[in-house]
């Protein structure tokens, strides 16, 4: 047995109070951080305007052809190819668009938006133009600002 159980009792009590105070401070701060900085991944809509467009998903069954007038939802990581006789339009979640002209290739790197209205992160659209020409039209941001690159 210990010589002074009262000292051990006070140490346990103070340690429990310090743990309680840490939880009281950290849990609301953690919830606030989650509400402000959490994001959700979005998709884009690829539509073939002329000819056949090749859509290569990041994982899956391989290249998917889209004929004139057909469309497909695509996630980030998708590569879109158009040959010399075709054109495509990609419509993003915030109603911005990208028109991909003949001979073009583009990779969608990132599509994300804040998970909650109180989020501080912008709507994010990151693309990588691998070949060809594009025309980009951005939508007026209604809620969150737009980071398009």
Q: Domain boundaries in the chain?
A: 1-37, 39-148
pLDDT at res. 114 = 92
pLDDT at res. 148 = 82
Question: Residue 142, exposed/middle/buried by CB under 10 A (0-12, 13-18, 19+)?
Answer: exposed
Structure tokens that stand for 42 in this block: 């979005």
Q: What distance in Å separates the CA atoms of residue 59 and residue 61, rounded to the nearest whole number?
A: 7
pLDDT at res. 2 = 65
Distances (CA, A) of 99 to 19, 29, 96, 139: 56, 43, 10, 14
Q: Which helix (DSSP H) or strand (DSSP E) does residue 105 occupy?
A: strand 105-114
Q: What distance in Å separates the CA atoms of residue 44 and residue 71, rounded to the nearest whole number?
A: 10
Q: Average pLDDT for consecutive 10-residue bins of the chain (149 residues)?
A: 81 96 97 94 94 89 88 93 93 92 94 90 92 89 78
pLDDT at res. 145 = 80
Q: What distance in Å separates the CA atoms of residue 112 and residue 121, rounded to the nearest whole number?
A: 9
Please state the pTM of the whole predicted model: 0.80
Q: What distance in Å separates the CA atoms of residue 77 and residue 8, rounded to the nearest whole number?
A: 58
Reduced to 3 DSSP states, what percent helix, strand and coil does the chain have, rounded to the nearest 5? 20, 40, 40
pLDDT at res. 61 = 77
Nearest to 80 by CA among 61, 58, 60: 58
Distance of alpha carbon 103 from the chain centroid: 27
pLDDT at res. 36 = 93
């Amino acid at each position: 047995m210990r010589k002074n159980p009262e000292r051990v009792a006070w140490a346990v009590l103070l340690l429990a109070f310090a743990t309680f105070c840490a939880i009281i401070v950290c849990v609301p701060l953690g919830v606030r951080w989650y509400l402000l900085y959490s994001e959700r991944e979005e998709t884009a809509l690829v539509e073939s305007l002329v000819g056949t467009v090749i859509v290569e998903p990041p994982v899956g069954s391989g290249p998917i052809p889209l004929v004139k007038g057909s469309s497909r939802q695509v996630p980030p990581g998708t590569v879109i190819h158009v040959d010399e006789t075709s054109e495509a339009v990609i419509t993003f979640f915030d109603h911005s668009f990208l028109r991909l002209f003949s001979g073009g290739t583009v990779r969608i790197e990132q599509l994300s938006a804040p998970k909650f209205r109180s989020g501080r992160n912008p709507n994010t659209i990151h693309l990588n133009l691998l070949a060809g020409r594009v025309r980009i039209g951005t939508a007026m941001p209604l809620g969150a600002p737009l980071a398009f690159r």
